[in-house]
Structure 1
Amino acid sequence: LSGEGHVQGLVPLVEELVAEHEAKGTLHRGDGPYVPRPAPEGDLRFPGKVLPLPDGSFLVSDTGHHRLVQLGNDLATVQRVIGSGTKGHRDGDAAAAQFTEPQGLTLLPEAVRAAAGYDVVVADSVNHRLRGVDLATGEVRTVAGSGVQRLLDAERARGAGPDHVAQGADPLSVALSSPWDVAWSTRADRLVVAMAGTHQLFSFDPRTGQLAVLAGTGDEGLKDGPAAEAWFAQSSGLAEDHLGNLWVADSETSALRVLRFADDGSVTVETAVGEGLFDFGFRDGDAGQARMQHCLGVAQLPDGSVAVADTYNGAVRHYDPRTRQVATLARGLAEPSDVLLDVSGDEPLLVVVEANAHRLVRVPIPAAAQRVDEGASQTQRPRTRLAPGALGIEVRFAAPTGQKLDDRWGDPTQLKISSSPEHALAQGAGTAQGLRRELVLAEGVTEGVLHITARAAACDGEPGGEIPDHAACHLYQQDWGIPFVLDADGEAELVLDLRGVN
């Protein structure tokens, strides 16, 4: 989700490699073994989310085409297009409006629609904005977000906490970060936004424009408890159940989470399925042992159980909160990114967004779900042996050819470091400028994980020269989770590479 800078940075890197291997004579030009996939035949391209409308049609975020498409009940007939299809940000009528990779959609309650003046809220992910759509006219307006990506490290650097949103702030001046899904919460009486870029859930009141952090510290991981202390990891799907609980597809932890709202106004976070950032798989059974892989969508079923779009497993999974059992409802799907319950026919069915097949399909809910066990996996790297006490951290970074560090406002590099368990670091945790840090490992801790995020900003320009006006600038970022065990003969220095510099 922070990949925009990575993609921009790949261009000069590829140019460097081409020049290097041309000089060496090791660059082969011409046909290779790659055969491109045929262009999709339908009207959609990598659709993201789907919303049922009161007239029986469906509104789809046609993410790859940067627009919204209203499909008939047959899931194929295009009734209307909202958005020009040109990537960008522009408010206006259905033909002129522009989105950039829109994702989640939700229909506001009728009374809220009347007060807000629009009907549907869209998570316009790469624009870092929320958009409002009037279904009667197709008019699109921006309702929240400045268009500048929210960086928690910048908030913390100026002394603001991770839950800081200025009270009464103009919603159009607030920086958001890759909003991925939206859902109305009856218990909170607010819209909830899966703010995937900062690993948080925001709330937004369309009647007043008030934005606030609902849950999440901004740390990436899986941690339950009071909402203000919880950790998420690129939450990408939201759905409310009949009890008012809010279910969350937490993609990077391959987890199903739930927010529970108490009568006193407090909110707690629980994990139903999932273990952590490095754990995934395809395993049904008891929820404590079950595994999913990069789930993106969630929906409630008629009996109060939950369906999950288990994206990288190509499946729709089933979780029963009463028995805490996980099963599989459907397999063989092409990266399902969303799922919803369709009760428009004689019997309830699932509508599944098959993102990689560029279509929506109806899937029956089987009387008996499958049980699958293809194992559980971990992507966790081997444990690094560290010496007790002081530990030096250095991240190496060199701007690509044709770019220079953007030092116009000071040091353009930054390190964010934390640990699991939290008390494993006696000194050095937190966010600060620079790519060098001295840590102190706490006494009594024998193992854990260091969480390190490095950032560097560079702009087009020659080293030693001035950065030209209107130069393109790029943010480079990399995250590491480094499991460690203490050993008297272990390392006292860790050197990491941002962009893989040797």
Structure 2
Amino acid sequence: MAPRSTLQMGPIRAPELEGGVGWLNVPGPLSLAGLRGKVVLLDFWTYCCINCMHVIPDLKALEAKYPNELVVIGVHSAKFTNEKDTSSIRQAIARYDIQHPVVNDANFAIWNAYAVRAWPTLVLISPDGYVANRYSGEGHREELDRDIAALIAEAKRKGTLKPSSLEIALELSKETDKPLRFPGKVHADAANQRLFIADSNHHRIVMTGFDGTVLDTIGSGAPGTRNGPFDFAEFRYPQGMALDGDFLYVADTGNHLIRRVNLKSKAVETVAGTGKNERSSQMGPGLTIGLSSPWDLVIHGRTMFIAMAGAHQIWQYNLDTGMVGWYAGTGAEGRRDGTLDTALFAQPSGLATDGKRLYVADSEISAIRAIDLADGNVTTLAGGDLFDFGDANGKGENARFQHPLAVAVADRKLYVADTYNHKLRTIDLRTRFVSNLIGSGKPGLQNDIPAFFHEPSGLAYAGGKLFVADTNNHVVRVVEFEPTRVSTFPTDKLNAPTPVKRKADALPNEEQIGVPAQRLTPGSGEIVVDIQLPPGFKYAPSAEQRYFVSVEAGTEGFSVPAKSLDVTSDKLRFPVKIPYTVTPDGMGAFDVVVSVTYCKEGNEGFCSVATYRFHVPFIGRAKGGSKNLILQKRIPTPAPPTP
């Protein structure tokens, strides 16, 4: 049975796309008349809006599914003054990897013609030029898919469909080969003189010394969710970070996850989130609770606070128990002071703490908020409300910011990255008075005073210096005081990543587990693969379980019997023993890949698949070697299905 369409067909002719002040990603302006015979989807957005960001993956999926029948046009109707500039939109297009046409609707001409009232709004137009449906907010992928399919089928029946590809001229940034690409956040480790940089659009974390010496890079550079060794693990647009001993926690924003980096074993694992953009009111084990665009992290005691931008809330993660959940904010978007459970936030994107208060860069209301960690009282330190923004010094609510994304605290002073004003500001925590620190207020890259920044969005204070992620300049800047001067952090020995290619035999959603280099005793031995099901689960009845061994090219002196190379059976149960032989001088690496299908006891409708790749480098050595290699993994309890 065909899926039911939600189309609301009517006699409303779609207004022409007139009044834009610039077109991007195409050679010239587009018209609905010129697109007759195609399905057109208008996406009314503004690039500051987290809900608009959440729509982008849906649009990409639909464009991929209907490449010749569907044309998506982004209508950028800006909220903030800075967003009205075509060059600013060009930077956002590159940052979000938008590859469809975008019109700068700076004067709201197209917005008003379509009677739009909120971001994001999507308008679907039929091949014969009529408004077929409109959708408010995010989360409409399936509905859109059904409606687009119905319009295409109807146009085919009428013979009016004109499938063809659209000429695109991408506005891709020319900074792709720079060492950093749209760095989002920075974290300074004063004790060890280390700086961690979220190299957001290279999908990795860069670790350097305070002098710029590159110590390590974390992540292959490919967007994804893989766990494992540094050069294999993947992130997607990572942002804020927090350090707890040898563990670096990362807000993996684009994946809606919290990742933990073990700086000693050099491995990455996921500790919170399901990988889906979800809002939950529950507190629970990290891997069972859905997150929504976590943007920044800060640790106080054994609690890590999370700026949950997509949920308009502050969350908490217990570093000892791994429990994650709500801390402050109702989830409605706005500004309201009060208790933790009545306060309103609007896309909180930056966090800092002095141990007494938690400071929040509440970006969509262009305000700086504070939460008393003793009594939970939420107050506004400075700034306005949803549409109260600008560039003005003054005390408390008389001051104005424009979409601030970061805060840092030191010496009774709060530093603010006033992102869309392209400058740094300070708030005296005793008087709440806001002052300019540095920056001309215009976008640019200049160290001489007056310095120029371009949408700075990350701050970290250490050793009397302020480290700044100067996002649209693709660099980190350093501000020193007495006298105040600005320099560009050296990254000349850092290279843009060359992502590790996914292995040809990779299974869907596999997680890599990096095994330390092994000394194997020459001769015969056994690999014991022990996959432990979560409590209350069993192997899925009649489902095939599988493991296979993959030996890396160039490996010498290692072999596994042919019958043990690849085993698939509904009778297979773990642990399993895989025989091998290795020569005295054998060396190289091999993978053992395991896929397990399992169900909840008493509920065979609640089943999951877990796939792991154990990557084992080895050398054949008689001294200190072992004949048995144990590869063990306990599968975490999966999140229950959404009703």
Mapped contact 2:239–2:295 kept (Cα < 8 A): yes
Shift of 1:82: 0.7
Shift of 1:146: 1.0
SS in 2 for 1:5: helix
Matched with 1:330 is 438
Query: For 1:194, which of 307, 312, 316 is the aligned residue?
Result: 307
CA-based RMSD: 2.8
1:44-443 to structure 2, matched below 5 A, reads 44-53=180-189, 54-75=191-212, 77-108=213-244, 110=245, 119-151=247-279, 164-166=281-283, 169-186=284-301, 189-241=302-354, 243-262=355-374, 266-301=375-410, 303-331=411-439, 332-343=452-463, 348-365=464-481
SS in 2 for 1:312: helix
> Partners in 2 of 1:147 and 1:181 — Cα distance?
17
> Partners in 2 of 1:36 and 1:220 — Cα distance?
32
Shift of 1:40: 5.3
Q: Is 1:4 aligned to residue 54 of structure 2? A: yes
SS in 2 for 1:103: coil
SS in 1 for 2:217: strand
Instruction: Select between 8-17 and 86-95 the one with higher mean Cα deviation.
Output: 8-17
Identify if the C-alpha distance between structure 1 residues 119 and 36 changes in structure 2 by more than 3 Å, giving closer, same or farther.
Answer: closer
Matched with 2:558 is none
SS in 1 for 2:377: strand
Shift of 1:342: 2.6
Shift of 1:36: 5.9
> Partners in 2 of 1:366 and 1:255 — Cα distance?
28
Matched with 1:427 is none
SS in 2 for 1:281: coil
Shift of 1:150: 1.3
> Partners in 1 of 2:345 and 2:168 — Cα distance?
44
Shift of 1:72: 2.8
SS in 1 for 2:332: coil
> Partners in 2 of 1:71 and 1:18 — Cα distance?
53
Cα-to-partner distance string for 1:150-181 (whole Å, 9 max, x where unaligned): 136xxxxxxxxxxx314xx3320111111000
> Partners in 2 of 1:49 and 1:285 — Cα distance?
27
SS in 2 for 1:227: coil
SS in 2 for 1:126: helix
Identify if the C-alpha distance between structure 1 residues 219 and 30 changes in structure 2 by more than 3 Å, giving closer, same or farther.
Answer: closer
> Partners in 2 of 1:55 and 1:367 — Cα distance?
26
Shift of 1:79: 2.4
SS in 1 for 2:54: helix
SS in 1 for 2:72: helix
Q: What amino acid maps onto 2:285 in structure 1?
A: D
Identify if the C-alpha distance between structure 1 residues 36 and 181 changes in structure 2 by more than 3 Å, giving closer, same or farther.
Answer: closer
Identify if the C-alpha distance between structure 1 residues 37 and 9 changes in structure 2 by more than 3 Å, giving closer, same or farther.
Answer: closer
Q: What amino acid maps onto 1:311 in structure 2?
A: T
Shift of 1:149: 1.4
SS in 1 for 2:364: helix
Cα-to-partner distance string for 1:173-226 (whole Å, 9 max, x where unaligned): 11111100010123xx41101111100111111210112311000010011000
> Partners in 2 of 1:280 and 1:310 — Cα distance?
11
Aligned residues: 333
> Partners in 2 of 1:342 and 1:94 — Cα distance?
26
SS in 2 for 1:316: strand
> Partners in 1 of 2:484 and 2:202 — Cα distance?
38
Structure number with greater Rg is 2
> Partners in 1 of 2:214 and 2:343 — Cα distance?
41
Identify if the C-alpha distance between structure 1 residues 97 and 18 changes in structure 2 by more than 3 Å, giving closer, same or farther.
Answer: farther
> Partners in 1 of 2:349 and 2:304 — Cα distance?
15
Shift of 1:228: 1.0
Identify if the C-alpha distance between structure 1 residues 90 and 319 changes in structure 2 by more than 3 Å, giving closer, same or farther.
Answer: same
TM-score relative to the length of structure 1: 0.62
Shift of 1:74: 2.8
Mapped contact 1:251–1:295 kept (Cα < 8 A): yes
Identify if the C-alpha distance between structure 1 residues 41 and 350 changes in structure 2 by more than 3 Å, giving closer, same or farther.
Answer: farther
Shift of 1:136: 1.6
> Partners in 1 of 2:233 and 2:167 — Cα distance?
41
SS in 2 for 1:74: coil
> Partners in 1 of 2:481 and 2:125 — Cα distance?
51
SS in 2 for 1:80: strand
SS in 1 for 2:240: strand
Shift of 1:365: 3.4
Cα-to-partner distance string for 1:319-362 (whole Å, 9 max, x where unaligned): 0021221111111211111112130xxxx221111010111111
Shift of 1:30: 7.7
Mapped contact 1:329–1:366 kept (Cα < 8 A): no
> Partners in 2 of 1:39 and 1:17 — Cα distance?
36
Mapped contact 1:179–1:197 kept (Cα < 8 A): yes
Matched with 1:437 is none
1:469-480 to structure 2, matched below 5 A, reads none
Shift of 1:17: 8.4
Shift of 1:121: 0.7
